[in-house]
Structure 1
Amino acid sequence: MPRLSLDTNLPSSKIPDDFLSGALKVLSNTLGKGPKFCITLVNSGLKMTFGASSEPCGIVQVTSIGSLGPEENKKHIAAITDYVHETVGIPKNRLYVFFQSNTPESTGYLGSTFHQLAIVEKGARLA
């Protein structure tokens, strides 16, 4: 259930059509999770300021069950920040990235939790 969302003040016309598919690849690769379960989204055209300026800025939020931590996040933030900067032009010093580690029992899918699906049922419905 890895998720990457970008909130930005850039207008939607500045977000390339392939941004979401590229972000999905970056997320899947850096976290080591199958793209089948990854979600990417963009909220563009928001009224935002960063450091009292309305120049292009953004917030990236990444959630995942596992694959996050002090050492892992160093790799993730580099990959994600580089991708966002290169594809939409938000300067790296105007972009925050927040990581949220979710637990299997607090994350749902297929009308159940990942704990039930992966641990109890041993992944039978996830294949």
Structure 2
Amino acid sequence: MFYKYVMIVLKGSVPMSCGGTEQPAAFGEVASVGGLNPDVNKEMSAAISNILETRLSVPKNRFFLKFHDFKGSDFGWNGSTM
């Protein structure tokens, strides 16, 4: 299940070397205001890596995700904090 305050940042066309080669590779960061845990991270990792592999030809073993779980007070939004 994906949560309301989850942001995924992907930047294309960035030169990248992974494992000593420049074959297709990716690095992503997931920032969430609450809701992340090992099970959710595993589910999101599987879903995102499937998308990258099928749509962008980035093999699953050449994709890394970094997860960040924040408190609502760590994010400003709508003139306040979450």
Is TM > 0.5 for Structure 1 vs Structure 2?
yes
Inter-partner Cα distance in structure 2 for 1:86 and 1:95: 13
Shift of 1:61: 0.8
Q: Tell me, which stretches of 5 or more residues in structure 1 are unaligned?
A: 1-29, 115-127
Inter-partner Cα distance in structure 2 for 1:96 and 1:102: 20
Matches within 5 A, 1:87-106: 87-106=55-74
Inter-partner Cα distance in structure 1 for 2:7 and 2:62: 23
Q: Tell me, which stretches of 5 or more residues in structure 2 are unaligned?
A: none
Shift of 1:42: 3.5
Work out which of the residue numbers 79, 85, 88 in structure 1 matches 2:53. Answer: 85
Aligned position for 1:117: none
Matches within 5 A, 1:20-59: 30-33=1-4, 39-59=7-27
Inter-partner Cα distance in structure 2 for 1:83 and 1:42: 12
Identify if the C-alpha distance between structure 1 residues 40 and 32 changes in structure 2 by more than 3 Å, giving closer, same or farther: closer
Inter-partner Cα distance in structure 2 for 1:76 and 1:43: 18
Question: What is the count of residue pairs matched by the alignment?
Answer: 82
Report the structure, 1 or 2, having the larger strand content: 2
Shift of 1:113: 0.6
Report the structure, 1 or 2, having the larger helix content: 1
Residue 110 (str. 1) matches residue 78 (str. 2): yes
Question: After the TM superposition, which segments of 4 or more aligned residues of structure 1 sit over 6 Å from their partners?
Answer: none
Query: 1:52 is paired with a residue of what secondary structure?
Result: coil
Q: Pick the structure with greater CA Rg.
A: 1
Identity, in percent, stands at: 28
